Structure 1
């Protein structure tokens, strides 16, 4: 889709990914990356979640699991808005994931709506019937304009916020609210060790922890892939129309290699069920090279048949204790959990995490045309 709004010299067009960031054609990508970071600072009032252009570039490289299309809104050759349409290729074949951002000085001029229209047209062209998107808000938001609550009744999001108003105008509904929590590095290691020892005692002799940095051992690769697959639906998904993702060892390796190309690293802990010889849970910490002080708590999952043994706490404590050894520059750890995931929120609170913000998950089901 190419939209030429000649009255303002605004053009919205798909942007082909350049072969590298060192060619002239990459200038719009670099400008769009700067815009994304500007929005992150606006939302959070810090730059912890800003991403280097080269890291972002690696995430857009083609792969066999998703097709990501960038749309840019340019005014007099200046990038003033960006949209991304992310189409899964191996699962969730009814879905398109969407992102729309507009420069703060160019808002309320129809640019965001035009960008979203390009995304929706792209989704329809690819045969998708559901569009999902996410938006963040830091804690302490003003409730004077009311709040939106998903059908789960867990969590809320400010109704008068820019993302909520925009999502409603485009026909989206609030499907879920996640809590973003943060844990400063500088915890009491003795206290964590006690929590870990208590959890290990509750787990008993049938379970053991295994760990790796960056690359999963070959002998448990497919087992780990199965855990990643179950993570996609075994955690609460609210009202999102989410189907189980398709994972195998090849997909795990692709993700590891993409993280490494962007300069990232991961710490993984998994729990082994000794009687069966199977991995039955895992937790992941990741960080990016350009932000060595910022760590992200990604997946934490224990398979349903093995819950009730404090395995989640055991996994998370063991990984946290390793952070200061493997990544001594780490300063704080961020994690996101569905507001209806009371158990994991309680685990994180016990570990010392405190709320930093909220993420709204929006969903729109497209009508046939």
Structure 2
């Protein structure tokens, strides 16, 4: 029996305690339930306040469409429209309540989102599919390998079948890993000793939280521009935003306004006085027990000195000192980035699953004629 579905744009309330916040709270709860279904926990789900704060991001406009059945929200698609680069791009996050999957709700929401994106002049759409480790480990699992040639998603999964059926092509895989905190003190001592021996006193660590010291501002911006060189995400283009000190300061202020804390360790090459690597961990406003590893970059010419290991161990130790409630750290890496994957393995990260990045190009409607 066909389910009668009504698609509408979600009203974003000014606060969570007003009479107009019920639909927003229900939409966020849909996302939480879907992550519980996928991962067995809600570690990767937004709290309502985190989501509300994120919607004020000046670099990205977000619009949420919801699917209602009998007045109840049963599905949500979050549409992210970059505002400073890749202006032809829209990224969708599609969540359907488990009990309403396989009923055409997802297809109707996705078609509505594509129509909205096309109306905003966006012609390249990205969606993702998420696959826990248990779904990847069976030897009978038929594999779908992306265009990049590395990694796979399970061919028989409901999400994969849906993405293929709706015209999306698998472009890229990100490996999703987790590590329990705090790190074992014996392991930390061993890894720090290993890293110190390799760099032989030629490097010096610097630490800060939330705001980069003025003296390192332009150097950090330059390092951020090098982040991701080992990876080839499908969204990377020549027009991507190039960081400078001003933009870095703006990004820091956005993070602070959203309640996020940022723990950073950088490494200086003493002989030249230049920063040659850094690593960043983000702590969310509402949940300090779940944290996220962001960029780690070490300049190619300084690889082989175990600097990635050095800065990541030091930063995870600082995280535990400043945020003792942190119990797990999550990270995503491209399979191409063997350098960081090896470092993560030494630190105790284990594979939690993979995320498939899918792409579809919409026809460009061009200027309207009437």
TM-score, shorter chain, exceeding 0.5:
yes
**Which residue matches 2:110?**
116
**Which residue matches 2:18?**
23
Instruction: Give the SS at the match of 1:49.
Output: coil
User: Does 1:308 find its partner at 2:304?
Assistant: yes
CA deviation profile, 1:293-326 (whole Å, cap 9, x unmatched): 2221111111233323221111101112223211
Give the RMSD, CA atoms, in angstroms.
2.2
**Which residue matches 2:71?**
77
In structure 2, what is the Cα distance between the partners aligned to 1:93 and 1:308?
38
After TM superposition, give the deviation of residue 41 of structure 1 in Å: 0.5
**Which residue matches 1:154?**
150
In structure 1, what is the Cα distance between the partners aligned to 2:327 and 2:57?
33
**Which residue matches 1:127?**
121
After TM superposition, give the deviation of residue 62 of structure 1 in Å: 4.6
Q: Which runs of structure 2 are paired with 1:65-214 in the superposition (5 Å)?
A: 65-141=59-135, 143=138, 144=140, 146-214=142-210
**Which residue matches 1:47?**
42
Are the aligned partners of 2:230 and 2:336 in contact in 1 as well (CA < 8 Å)? Answer: no
Unmatched runs of 5 consecutive residues or more in structure 1:
1-6
**Which residue matches 2:291?**
295
After TM superposition, give the deviation of residue 277 of structure 1 in Å: 3.4
Unmatched runs of 5 consecutive residues or more in structure 2:
366-370
In structure 2, what is the Cα distance between the partners aligned to 1:237 and 1:356?
21
After TM superposition, give the deviation of residue 334 of structure 1 in Å: 1.5
Instruction: Give the SS at the match of 1:21.
Output: coil
Structure 2-normalised TM-score?
Answer: 0.90
Are the aligned partners of 1:84 and 1:100 in contact in 2 as well (CA < 8 Å)? Answer: yes
Are the aligned partners of 2:276 and 2:302 in contact in 1 as well (CA < 8 Å)? Answer: yes
After TM superposition, give the deviation of residue 186 of structure 1 in Å: 4.3
Residue range with higher mean Cα deviation, 208-217 or 197-206: 197-206
Alpha carbons of structure 1 residues 221 and 127: separation in structure 2 relative to 1, 3 Å: same
CA deviation profile, 1:213-240 (whole Å, cap 9, x unmatched): 1222233223223322322x413125x1
After TM superposition, give the deviation of residue 145 of structure 1 in Å: 5.6
Instruction: Give the SS at the match of 2:134.
Output: coil
After TM superposition, give the deviation of residue 344 of structure 1 in Å: 1.1
Instruction: Give the SS at the match of 1:47.
Output: coil
In structure 2, what is the Cα distance between the partners aligned to 1:44 and 1:139?
9
Are the aligned partners of 1:59 and 1:258 in contact in 2 as well (CA < 8 Å)? Answer: no
After TM superposition, give the deviation of residue 118 of structure 1 in Å: 2.0
In structure 1, what is the Cα distance between the partners aligned to 2:107 and 2:199?
52
Are the aligned partners of 1:102 and 1:111 in contact in 2 as well (CA < 8 Å)? Answer: yes
Choose the corresponding residue for 1:356, options 349, 352, 356. Answer: 352
Aligned residues: 360
In structure 1, what is the Cα distance between the partners aligned to 2:308 and 2:7?
46
In structure 2, what is the Cα distance between the partners aligned to 1:225 and 1:26?
38
Residue range with higher mean Cα deviation, 183-192 or 93-102: 183-192
**Which residue matches 1:345?**
341
After TM superposition, give the deviation of residue 81 of structure 1 in Å: 0.9
Are the aligned partners of 2:279 and 2:295 in contact in 1 as well (CA < 8 Å)? Answer: yes
In structure 1, what is the Cα distance between the partners aligned to 2:113 and 2:320?
42
Instruction: Give the SS at the match of 1:234.
Output: coil
CA deviation profile, 1:24-76 (whole Å, cap 9, x unmatched): 2222111110110001100011122222100111111151x111111111223
